[in-house]
Amino acid sequence: MKKLRFGDLPLLVRFAVGVAFFTSWEVFEETIVDRYGLWRFMPRCRVGDPCLWDLGAALVICVGLVAASPCRMRCCEQVSP
């Protein structure tokens, strides 16, 4: 059985993984940060509204998923004789 890499998965599956990670961040923010008042220690954080922390989390998730997906361009493929 061949190992399946993250980059070999269909684009829809990789997108769903990103949405799941971002949803996990939102749940963490709602249940921990907002409930226990940790937002007071986070600059530019607004309770209940999208803020720079959400944008930062989305950016980190996107960069991580792009890094986990290898380049599929022809110039990046290794040609074996």
In a domain, 5, yes or no: no
* 43-77: burial string, b at 16+ Cβ within 10 Å, e else: eebeeeeebebbeebeeebeeebeeeeeeeeeeee
Look up residue 11 and give its two tokens: 């684009």
81 assigned to some structural domain? no
pTM: 0.78
Number of domains in the chain: 1
Range of the domain at 22: 10-76
pLDDT tens sequence across 17-67 = 999 999 999 999 999 998 998 989 988 888 888 889 999 999 999 999 999
In a domain, 47, yes or no: yes
Residue with tokens 């074996």: 80
